[in-house]
Amino acid sequence: MLFTSFEFVVLVIITLILYYLPPLRRWQVPVLILASLVFYAANQADLLWLLLLSVSINIVSSYFVIYGRSDRRHFHAVWGVVANLSILCFFKYGPLLSRTFLPADSSLAETLIALPLPIGISFFTFQGISLVVDTYRNRDVPQFRSMIARNLAKHAQTVFFFKAFFPQLVAGPIVKAYFFLPQIKPKFWQDIQWDKCFRALVVGYFLKMVIADNLKDHTALITYPYFEAYSSLTLLGLLFGYSMQIFADFAGYSLIALGLAGLFGYDFPINFNFPYVSVSFSDFWRRWHISLSSFLREYLYIPLGGNRHGAFRTYLNLMLTMVLGGLWHGAAWSYAIWGFAHGLALAVERFIDNLFPTKPTRVSEFIRGIIVFAYVTVLWLLFKLPDFSHVIAYCRALVNNIDKPNDGRVLSLIAVYALAVILYHVNYLLGERRSKTEKHPAWEFAAYAIMIFLVITNSGSGGAFIYFQF
């Protein structure tokens, strides 16, 4: 059930009606849990048991961290994290490890390769880890302990809701427990922030349905062996188009999730902050998939030592964090290479900035921004072509196909749809300089009207969100 489907719209409308009916106010959380189960079952009914197992692990481990024996709290936290990671590794990385280390004709390899990939497993696993770790870290903090109900049934309901809330169930953002749990309380129709929800939903659906879904029909040419027939310029244009598509697709999803959560009275953190205006690689990771970046920093990079143990350890921690972040995205070694390349960029950038500290100028920031965007865009090829041999073939075609004729139609259509993403970022830059009193200029309302019109009249063929596969 896609966010862009008619069935999903019906589910949201029915859920909203039941959710805000005064007689059902005390049942608001169960209503959302039921809607979330329907949503997940509509996508993968045969793997609903896995979500229930994951939720159960986090219910038990987090409960006993607070209410179990004091000398066993660390044990309960550790087994909770290990159990979460074990499920993730088995289902997501079992096929990769079997292809890498086991004979292809072994029965174990065949079993592991045939494992289905549960949608959203990376996201709801990380949220479960957040719950267990946050509970352990704050086990002696009265304000946090009060959110872990002594009544096990009530605690189970809270954890179930936290992990399964459908706007963020299959593709985030990764909402941390200490951010979400305090929001669980009765909600009222009159408290909905309609302006915020409207803007998030309109922009989100526009980015997904008009930009990403139209671009995907052209960037589908980045498939082996079809790309070998196209010119170097066309291949560059396709790669640029995919960079625009993956931003529009995931930023669009995140905005839709934010708007949907707002309709039910819940606040999600912003997941994208105009990443293509970044002037450094560290700036890019403060703007792209912010919930994942902050999760990796808070639950991996800092526990590893962060930058507290000298330059070498800092660079090593950066590299390890980014490689693991790359593998989080997918069970292929190309994702690890993608993470390694980003970790290397962060390490080199940090080394240069420490060696030659200079005050940036507008010209230097512009040049650095171009470098960051080009580097990030080239690395998206590892997402589009997880088979690394195909990435090499694409790069070879970029060099060798210089004399082939350009596909003007493809390049023109990519330019048209990419222009919307560019203007989206330009508007942000202009907004930074806009008067504080001019929060929403008059032309912005016309822009929203145009976006709604284009969603209705010019949406591309429906397709799953790219990050559903992660």
Confidence of residue 437 (pLDDT cuts 50, 70, 90): low
User: Residues 139-189: pLDDT tens digits?
Assistant: 888 888 888 999 999 999 999 999 999 999 888 799 999 999 999 999 999
pLDDT of 462 over the 90 cut: no
Calpha distance 236→381 (Å, rounded): 11
> Which residues have a Cβ under 8 Å from the Cβ of 313 and sit 6 or more positions away?
305, 307
- Position 386 scores a pLDDT of 84
Mean pLDDT value across the chain: 90
- Position 293 scores a pLDDT of 94
Confidence of residue 440 (pLDDT cuts 50, 70, 90): low
What's the average model confidence in pLDDT over 3-7?
88
Whether the bond between 173 and the residue before it is cis, its omega within 30 degrees of 0, is: yes
Q: What is the largest CA-CA distance in the chain?
A: 72
Higher pLDDT: 355 or 414? It is 414
Confidence of residue 433 (pLDDT cuts 50, 70, 90): low
Contact 147, 66 (CB under 8 A): no
- Position 354 scores a pLDDT of 86
Supply 133's token pair: 């770790």
What's the average model confidence in pLDDT over 282-310?
92
Contact 25, 186 (CB under 8 A): yes
Choosing from 155, 218, 329, 390, which is the catalytic residue? 329
* H helix count then E strand count, the chain: 23, 0
Q: Give me the count of residues in the chain.
A: 470
Confidence of residue 357 (pLDDT cuts 50, 70, 90): confident
Higher pLDDT: 8 or 466? It is 8
Q: Is 329 a catalytic residue?
A: yes
pLDDT of 291 over the 90 cut: yes
- Position 312 scores a pLDDT of 87
Half-sphere exposure of 47 (CA within 13 A, CB side): 15
User: Residues 106-143: pLDDT tens digits?
Assistant: 777 777 777 788 888 889 999 999 999 999 999 888 88
- Position 442 scores a pLDDT of 72
pLDDT of 422 over the 90 cut: yes
**Percentage of the residues of the chain whose pLDDT score is greater than 70:** 97
Residue 141 CB: number of other CB atoms within 10 A? Answer: 12
Confidence of residue 415 (pLDDT cuts 50, 70, 90): very high
Residue type, 223: T
What's the average model confidence in pLDDT over 354-368?
86
Calpha distance 91→98 (Å, rounded): 12
Q: Is 84 exposed, middle or buried (0-12, 13-18, 19+ CB in 10 A)?
A: buried
Calpha distance 178→182 (Å, rounded): 7
3-class secondary structure per residue, 190-224: HHCCHHHHHHHHHHHHHHHHHHHHHHHHHHCCCCC
CA-wise closest residue to 91 among 128, 47, 129: 47
Calpha distance 2→177 (Å, rounded): 26
189-206 burial, b for 16+ CB within 10 Å, e for fewer? eeebeeeebebbbbbbbb
User: Residues 21-34: pLDDT tens digits?
Assistant: 999 999 999 999 99
CA-wise closest residue to 252 among 39, 41, 2, 37: 2
pLDDT of 432 over the 80 cut: no
pLDDT of 394 over the 90 cut: yes
- Position 439 scores a pLDDT of 61
